[in-house]
Chains A and B, each alone.
Chain A
């Protein structure tokens, strides 16, 4: 399968993307995307696709969704001018505050939308996967809200490093299923959720949390998350006096980034930068920089860029942030990189920690470790671009990261003492 585009193909695809024609009827974003799933799930995916076509654009669904976003999620979320940070960086920094959304991250936009869809499609129960736990918490809350039972698959490594979120899921009535297989993180949790879905394709709705997986998930998640960019675009004009010169978002699977970027793609004056987890270094297994270091392949349902060895086995990843710790990336990001419309860079664990501290200190915001990667890259960019107007997708809050932050602080002081 091809992954490189010539200039003619690229310009056609960009036009199609801006015209809202992607994914195409085969679920493709150019060469990327598609539907690579076990035969048992084919009827379930076809049902989901029909359901989306029928309900998503309908006035009834949209009204219900918007009402939930306004009254329960708390949208629109604020756009905050970061005055002290701007002064430090020598730029004008604006923050799109998804941390203020109910349950503390952008994940809820998708979770409540899909939970409403699950109810419309007559699902008996919902399953979800989670890495950082934010999507798990959002799914638990959304399922409670619409009255559906929810089971969340979570790798045992993630359960330990995101313990507060495990408690929250339990409180919200979800069952948390510990995943001991594979790499015991997000990728294994998705595999396990897929296995469960295969056992009951008619009764289960799989509430996938990122813009990854088989068609129509990357499309569905983008549609539900685009509220971020649509609001931010309007708020920038209303409050900042104009569109930004650049927008930053962190990228794991890429749902918050696609949500912020998609409505801005047509504004060719806005540079778009996605920030992946650079971990502890460039070596195999030291990072989760899929677009920076990966190659084309099929993982968990779609053709995209993935971290793999020469034999096609998926590589394990490392990031200080569980939410970015994934060997794949959404197929639309693979296309945006191939088109050159979005630039993807990395930020290391240490840079993210430093950025997190700086934001606490200057703006009184404890951001998520995932989000901190976007700040680290924006800060670097600011050095070469003084005076510019920057929009940062502040995708989530960092309360869940307190155990990780204490662990790193202890390690750092131990190293200093040695």
Chain B
């Protein structure tokens, strides 16, 4: 099995248990680089797949929460190579497949070939790159594919039907359905026509569909879970970390 195939398996396993797959997102090394490893282990006990955010100076698709955590992590010296180094000793102790969210430039600076091999070594199964549309993704996809990692594609409510199909066919692991037209961390709640949109996305995708953006409560997870295989929880979890509360406890009440 290729590493990226573990992602879909983990979501489907949760569904087979009668649960919505839970994908927690944290900004790596936030709020404290020293507690990253233990915090990740605790989160991975509850999450089916864990998404690690690589901090970047210009997070243009993110709202205030993830901007704040990203800038704080950079201040604390968190970089992509630091994150990989932290993951090295955790091999074997984390069962949930890991995915990484990074803007393109840190990946470009790291180098695609090295990225693919470090991903394989550290159990990172796929990447989400929010400023990399499909049309520009051939080079990095080829490099990642060579090591069994993949690129997770995003669809949004603004995506036309034919393009949705294209992205569903290209994605690895799961298809990321952005719930709102907007940035992460919105407080306006999930849109009323979410069910129809998620049904439409699920209909075109052979891989599980995970919904993200604006999912904050157990009720949101239940709502999303009726029409998608998984739910991605980002800003709400980062806020829990920001307040110094227990992330695993927060995630358990979402399950």
Q: Which residues of A contact B158 (CB under 8 A)?
A: 39-44, 201-202
Does A348 lie at the interface of the complex (its beta carbon under 8 Å from any beta carbon of B)?
Answer: no
**Quick one: which of A39, A40, A314 contacts B58, CB cutoff 8 A?**
A314
Q: Is the CB of A181 within 8 A of B67?
A: yes
Query: Which partner residue on chain A sits nearest B167 by CB separation?
Result: A39
**Quick one: which of B56, B61, B79, B153 contacts A195, CB cutoff 8 A?**
B61
Q: Is the CB of B109 within 8 A of A39?
A: no
Cα–Cα distance between A199 and B214 once the two chains are bound (Å): 13
Cα–Cα distance between A44 and B74 once the two chains are bound (Å): 32
Q: Which A residues from 289 to 321 make CB contacts under 8 A with B? A: 297-301, 306, 308, 310-314
Q: Of B1-9, B126-134, B204-212, which binds chain A?
A: B126-134
Q: Is the CB of B132 within 8 A of A36?
A: yes
**Quick one: which of A36, A37, A198, A311 contacts B106, CB cutoff 8 A?**
A311
Q: Is the CB of A38 within 8 A of B182?
A: no
Query: Which partner residue on chain B sits nearest A201 by CB separation?
Result: B158
Q: Which B residues from 147 to 179 make CB contacts under 8 A with A? A: 153-156, 158-160, 163, 167, 178
Q: Which residues of A contact B178 (CB under 8 A)?
A: 39-40
Does A182 lie at the interface of the complex (its beta carbon under 8 Å from any beta carbon of B)?
Answer: yes
Query: Which partner residue on chain B sits nearest A191 by CB separation?
Result: B60
Given the interface pairs A39-B154, A311-B106, the reply to whether A195 lies near B63 with Cβ below 8 Å is yes
Q: Is the CB of A300 within 8 A of B106?
A: no
How near does chain A come to B101, taking the closest CB pair, in angstroms? Answer: 12
Given the interface pairs A39-B156, A39-B178, A201-B181, the reply to whether A312 lies near B105 with Cβ below 8 Å is yes
Given the interface pairs A1-B108, A311-B109, the reply to whether A300 lies near B80 with Cβ below 8 Å is no
Q: Is the CB of A298 within 8 A of B133?
A: no
Does A26 lie at the interface of the complex (its beta carbon under 8 Å from any beta carbon of B)?
Answer: yes
- B38-76 to A contact mask, C-beta < 8 Å, 1/0: 000000000000000000111111111001000100100
Q: Is the CB of B74 within 8 A of A313?
A: yes
Query: Which partner residue on chain A sits nearest B104 by CB separation?
Result: A298
Query: Which partner residue on chain B sits nearest A190 by CB separation?
Result: B60
How near does chain B come to A248, taking the closest CB pair, in angstroms? Answer: 30
Q: Which A residues from 151 to 173 make CB contacts under 8 A with B? A: none
Q: Is the CB of A38 within 8 A of B159?
A: no
How near does chain B come to A185, taking the closest CB pair, in angstroms? Answer: 12
A-B contact pairs, 5 of them (CB 8 A): A42-B159, A191-B60, A201-B158, A311-B109, A312-B105
Please report B residues at the A interface, Cβ cutoff 8 Å.
56-64, 67, 71, 74, 79-81, 104-110, 130-133, 135-136, 139, 153-156, 158-160, 163, 167, 178, 181-183
Additional pairs, 14, CB under 8 Å, beyond known A39-B156, A308-B105, A311-B109? A1-B139, A26-B135, A36-B132, A37-B131, A39-B155, A40-B158, A181-B64, A191-B59, A191-B60, A297-B105, A306-B105, A311-B81, A313-B57, A314-B57
Ranked 5 nearest A-B pairs via Cβ:
A312-B109, A312-B106, A313-B57, A312-B105, A199-B182
Please report A residues at the B interface, Cβ cutoff 8 Å.
1, 26, 34-44, 181-182, 187, 191, 194-195, 198-202, 297-301, 306, 308, 310-314
